[in-house]
Structure 1
Amino acid sequence: MNFKHLKYFVATAETGQVSRAAKLLSISQSAVTGSVRDLEALLAVTLFQRRAQGMELTDAGREFLPVARDILEKVDAAHQIHRGTSDITGSLTIAATYTVLGYFLPFHLGRLAQLYPGIDIRIVELNRQSIEEQLLRGQIDMAVALTSNIHRDGIETLTLLKSPRRLWVPAGHRFCDGGAVSLHSIAKEPYVMLTVDEAAHSSMKYWNSNNAHPSIKLRTSSVEAVRSLVANGQGVTILSDMVYRPWSLEGRRIETVVTDVEIPTMDVGLAVNRSIPLTPAKQALKSYFTSAFLSPKLQF
């Protein structure tokens, strides 16, 4: 096993498609496919289910993903020790949405503090509309947010992670026994709708575009409430892999199932005011994130 195996595996898992991973890494699709197959042979497990919609992680793949990320992060940390910490100084106000702040950003804040001790980073939690307004007014320096929701002129985004959305069901649910499930079949089940970070609005886009309508039992801004309700058999939902955890707070298991239509990914990334030049501190953060997510050629 080598670092390339891990790098290509993580890129495929995060993008959900070999073609996207190959484009992200600027290599051929055959190189990605061959590396993933070699890794599966070395581990003697199947890491992905190959489906028409893309590459879906198996249970073994999901278990291995944080391990692979951890190894790559530790290697990167070792390189940084050799290079020493940066002497870049400055202060930055970074806005983050609820989901990003809870499920994506904390680890990276710790790494940034180690690598750039001279940069004072202040974090504020804002919704998407406030992020757009404050970026355009120059009240915040940068945002880490759901880039799939940001479309205002004057704001440049850089997507780092595309998290697939899948159907969540309780363990033993009938949907676990078959293949991909249609939205019309899901519509017959009680549905728990997450509302935070415009999740309901994003959900209704793909429901409406497929001429289907969920039978909403409850709307809530709490991801943990959704998790517990699904795990306890009170409904199903469609949410991203980034917020997925296999167990509820009560210790009940949640399974995921693919749908028979392609559901848009939840895209996470950086946003800046296009008209304001990047300071050394902002450039350092951008470089860190592009390096951490294996896409050194992406630029604002």
Structure 2
Amino acid sequence: MTPSLKQLRYFVALAETGGFGRAAETVFVTQPALSQQIRELETILGVGLVERLPRGIRLTRAGREVLERARRILSEVADLERAARLSRGLTGRLRLGVIPTVAPYLLPGALTRLRAQDLTLDIRVREAQTEALLDDLEAGRVDAVVAALPLPDAGLAVEPLFEDRFVLAGTRARLARWSRGAGARRPAELAPDQLLLLDEGHCLADQALEVCGLRERGRVDLGASSLATLAGLVAEGFGLTLLPEIALRAERAAAPGLSLMRFAGPEPARKLALLYRAGGDDGWSAPLAALLRDAGAELLGSARAVCP
């Protein structure tokens, strides 16, 4: 007998979650069923893969070796499935990863356009930070990722989408005090203690620090987990922040006390792109990128109406 793909998937889930109960939930089976499959896999391979502890499991040395190879096998199988699924272009199932500072703003328009093009398209979306999405992309758990450049060179194909400019946000009074009638100013003139950022790990927080020429956060840091929370904080007078243009329409509507100000040119911006595994394009990346650009153009047009 040889190990089945199901057994390998169950084993990877067990290794990644650290417990039979959590692994069973991940793969949607009962704990006894998963435990039986793991024991059968150990019997087939003739070696113990996990040490069963009172609170979880620990991989044996053989288990660590099998885990590495199982992940590689499952990634290759995912590539095979994706190639067959997308062989006719943008059809079948699409698994798309999107970073949190893009997903709530770009996805509604993008998904509407995707559905209009093909009602049979099965779209699965994962929203997570860049590092997690790149891991998913490498492992074949998603087909493509929308993220901000630059990124580490990981052998990925890159389809540029659009430039998303940053706008200064806060209350009308705070923005007036900061500008002091001098008109548009530059991000580097912002004091660190005035600037509120997203929690660490969000690429947008790192980009905000970079465009402002700052090496670290200010002493008073009300880091937020989402742009919506951040916009709500500054709308109530808790400092200033940078918002990307694609978020302006939604966050201005949600926080009426939010005022916006453009920076002096050249305006700071991030570059968004569609990423996918090199050699994994079977005619679907170009139409997907075009739909994303179209949705982005609509958002950018509305942003420039909200904040000329």
Decide whether the 8 Å contact of 1:142 with 1:271 is kept in 2: yes
CA distance in 2, matches of 1:184, 1:125: 31
* CA–CA distance in structure 1, aligned partners of residues 226 and 98 of structure 2: 17
Contact 1:166 1:240 in 2 (8 A): yes
Query: 2: distance between equivalents of 1:259 and 1:212?
Result: 23
Q: Secondary structure at the match of 1:225?
A: helix
- Larger strand share, 1 or 2: 1
* Residues 180/280 of structure 1: CA separation in 2 closer, same or farther (3 Å cut): closer
**Equivalence for 1:224:** 228
Give the C-alpha shift of residue 154 in structure 1.
0.9
1:102-161 residue CA offsets vs partner (Å, 9 max, x unmatched): 111111101111111232221112221122222223232111222x14233211222212
Q: Equivalent residue for 1:165?
A: 166
Match of 1:256 in 2: 261
The answer on whether the counterparts of 2:106 and 2:296 sit within 8 Å (CA) in structure 1 is: no
Aligned-pair identity (%): 21
Report what 1:138 is aligned to. Answer: 140
Partner of residue 125 from structure 1, selected from 101, 109, 127: 127
2:187 is the counterpart of 1:175: no
Contact kept? 1:187, 1:215, Cα under 8 Å: no
Residue 225 of structure 1, CA deviation: 2.3
Alignment partner, residue 244 of structure 1: 248
Question: What is aligned with 1:233?
Answer: 237
Measured after TM superposition, the shift of residue 219 of structure 1 is: 1.3
Unmatched segments (≥5 aa) in structure 2: 1-87, 298-308
Residue deviations 1:191-245 (CA, integer Å, cap 9, x gap): 2112363222222223347x89755442112222221222222211122222224
Contact preservation (8 Å) 2:159, 2:289: no
Q: Confirm or deny: 8 A CA contact 1:168 1:230 kept in the other structure.
A: yes
Which structure has the larger Rg?
2
- What amino acid does structure 2 have at the position aligned with 1:224? A
How does 1:64-83 map onto structure 2 within 5 Å?
Answer: none
Task: Verify the 8 A CA contact 2:155 2:277 in the aligned structure 1.
Answer: yes
Residue-by-residue CA offset, 1:25-51 (whole Å, 9 max, x unaligned)? xxxxxxxxxxxxxxxxxxxxxxxxxxx
Cα distance between partner residues in 1 of 2:92 and 2:192: 54
Counterpart of 1:93 in structure 2 is 95
Q: Is the 8 A contact 2:89 2:282 kept in 1?
A: no
Higher mean C-alpha displacement, 232-241 vs 100-109: 232-241
Tell me the secondary structure at the aligned position of residue 152 of structure 2. Answer: coil
Query: Counterpart amino acid of 2:224?
Result: T
TM-score, normalised on structure 2? 0.57
Match of 2:104 among 55, 80, 102: 102
Residue 206 (structure 2) pairs with residue 204 (structure 1):
no
Q: Is residue 274 of structure 1 aligned with residue 278 of structure 2?
A: yes
8 Å CA contact 1:231, 1:247 repeated in 2: no
Task: Give SS of 1:271's match.
Answer: strand
The 8 Å contact of residues 187 and 211 in structure 2, kept in 1 or not, is answered as no
Partner of 1:116: 118
Indicate conservation of the 8 Å contact 1:167/1:259, yes or no: no
Quote the offset at 1:257 in angstroms: 3.6
Q: 1:269 to 1:184 in 2, by over 3 A?
A: closer
| C-alpha deviation, 1:271, in angstroms | 0.7
8 Å Cα contact 1:94/1:121 also seen in 2 = yes
Partner of 1:53: none
Kindly tell me the number of residue pairs found equivalent between the two proteins: 205
Q: Write the distance in 2 (CA, Å) between the matches of 1:275 and 1:133.
A: 17
